[in-house]
């Protein structure tokens, strides 16, 4: 485990992280990224934390906005993860966090849903292949809560002649374990899943969820080993298929508010390319900055009001400029829909792409 003391001590008190943190934006200056990392020595020594201090460590989506602006490169979200690791080791993590960790380990999904229903989203019209080298992982939020995103994705892929293979033993990616510092559990989870996927001789795994992408692509190699297959976010494949002329789209003539995903923030041109290609005008709600939806890393279950208020930042801006918000993260869409008090429709980019392809037929 890294020694973060030197990093914490290198803070120059510039407060740049305060300005970008979605939690600080909605809860005020008692809950800043800087304040979170300054609790490290107290957590390490096992000292009692005030309620506000304890809450501050769990009042983070680990979106990484703070890391991006810190002028001395303090790995703030990793320090938060390490503090959570220590608190879990000291048996001090929140009960709801414990429950979700248990759900993932026992039921293979964060909500404790019946794992035998994971593939209920598959309908007869979808073309899938049991011997394809291209796999598809829908992920938990789509499988159990938003099956229409998986269906649209497969229909789009089918239009380009791709019939992917479903992973019969698909697992939760485990991002919640990573976010909450459950490193040992995550190591064995990653090992089991990677070994299983490789046993199917999958060469390319398409994922609809940016959280799954980030976890498989970054956390698994860190915690287990390099993968012998490529992990591809569905939007990247859509963009490529359009550029190769394998997807024929027709203009939808829409103007939409676009909600970006924290986990794909280095690639925000891709969704814009896809939307522009199908005649959809993108209205920027944060001037191309990526602002977290407020759901991940346990914020939604542990602090529903804060989580909802953070979602409100995007919902309000979107509602001001359009009656349709488009996103490309299923957890983000699920969360936004659950707290959406506006007359604002929220769709995944795959759904618009399916509409655009249908229109062309």
Q: Which of 17, 57, 87, 242 binds ligand SF4 (CB under 6 A)?
A: 17
88 binds ligand SF4 (CB under 6 A): no
79 binds ligand SF4 (CB under 6 A): no
14 binds ligand SF4 (CB under 6 A): yes
6 binds ligand SF4 (CB under 6 A): no
CB of residue 259 vs ligand SF4: minimum separation in angstroms? Answer: 16
Residue placing its CB nearer to ligand SF4 in the complex, 23 or 324: 23
CB of residue 60 vs ligand SF4: minimum separation in angstroms? Answer: 3
Residue placing its CB nearer to ligand SF4 in the complex, 27 or 182: 27
Residue placing its CB nearer to ligand SF4 in the complex, 240 or 268: 268
Tell me phi and psi for residue 94, to 5 degrees.
Answer: -60, 150
Total number of residues that touch ligand SF4 (CB under 6 A): 28
Residue placing its CB nearer to ligand SF4 in the complex, 62 or 151: 62
151 binds ligand SF4 (CB under 6 A): no
Q: Which of 26, 27, 57, 60 binds ligand SF4 (CB under 6 A)?
A: 60
Residue placing its CB nearer to ligand SF4 in the complex, 34 or 153: 34
Taking the C-alpha atoms of residue 201 and residue 133, their distance in angstroms, rounded to an integer, is 6
Site string for ligand SF4, 31-50 (x = CB under 6 A): --xx-x--------------
Sign of CA dihedral 249, 255, 256, 260: positive
CB of residue 8 vs ligand SF4: minimum separation in angstroms? Answer: 8
> CA-CA-CA-CA torsion for 207, 210, 211, 214, nearest 10 degrees?
90
Q: Which of 57, 66, 325, 353 binds ligand SF4 (CB under 6 A)?
A: 66
CB of residue 32 vs ligand SF4: minimum separation in angstroms? Answer: 8
Q: Which of residues 281-340 bind ligand SF4 (CB under 6 A)?
A: none
Q: Which of 13, 95, 124, 125 binds ligand SF4 (CB under 6 A)?
A: 13
CA-to-CA separations, 200 to 190, 212, 220, 354, 361, in angstroms, rounded = 16, 19, 18, 29, 35
Residue placing its CB nearer to ligand SF4 in the complex, 14 or 52: 14
Q: Which residue is nearest to ligand SF4 (CB)?
A: 60
Residues that bind ligand SF4 (CB under 6 A): 11-17, 20-23, 33-34, 36, 60-66, 69-72, 74, 76-77
């Amino acid at each position: 485990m890294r020694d973060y003391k030197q990093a914490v001590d290198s803070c120059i008190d510039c407060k740049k992280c305060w300005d970008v943190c979605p939690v600080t934006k909605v809860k005020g200056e008692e809950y800043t990224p800087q304040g979170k990392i300054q609790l490290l020595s107290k957590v390490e020594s096992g000292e009692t934390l005030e309620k506000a201090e304890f809450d501050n460590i769990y009042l983070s989506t680990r979106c990484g906005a703070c890391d991006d602006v810190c002028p001395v490169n303090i790995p703030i979200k990793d320090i938060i993860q390490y503090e959570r690791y220590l608190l879990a080791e000291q048996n001090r993590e929140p009960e709801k966090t414990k429950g979700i960790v248990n759900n993932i380990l026992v039921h293979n999904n964060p909500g404790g849903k019946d794992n035998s229903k994971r593939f209920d989203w598959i309908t007869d019209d979808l073309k899938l292949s049991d011997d394809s080298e291209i796999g598809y992982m829908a992920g938990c939020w789509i499988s159990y809560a938003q099956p229409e995103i998986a269906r649209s994705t497969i229909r789009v892929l089918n239009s380009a002649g791709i019939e992917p293979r479903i992973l019969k033993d698909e697992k939760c990616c485990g991002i919640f374990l990573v976010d909450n510092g459950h490193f040992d559990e995550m190591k064995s989870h990653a090992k089991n899943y990677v070994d299983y996927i490789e046993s199917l001789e999958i060469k390319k795994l398409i994922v609809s969820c940016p959280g799954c992408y980030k976890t498989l692509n970054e956390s698994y190699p860190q915690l287990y080993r390099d993968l012998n297959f490529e992990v591809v976010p569905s939007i990247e494949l859509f963009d490529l298929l359009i550029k190769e002329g394998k997807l024929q789209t027709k203009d939808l003539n829409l103007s939409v508010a676009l909600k970006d995903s924290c986990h794909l923030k280095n690639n925000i041109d891709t969704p814009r390319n896809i939307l522009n290609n199908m005649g959809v005008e993108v209205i920027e709600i944060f001037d191309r900055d990526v602002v977290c939806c407020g759901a991940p890393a346990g914020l939604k279950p542990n602090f529903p009001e804060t989580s909802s208020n953070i979602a409100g930042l995007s919902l309000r801006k979107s509602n001001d400029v359009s009656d349709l918000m488009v996103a490309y993260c299923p957890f983000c869409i699920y969360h936004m829909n659950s707290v959406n008090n506006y007359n604002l429709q929220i769709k995944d980019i795959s759904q618009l792409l399916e509409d655009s392809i249908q229109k062309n037929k």
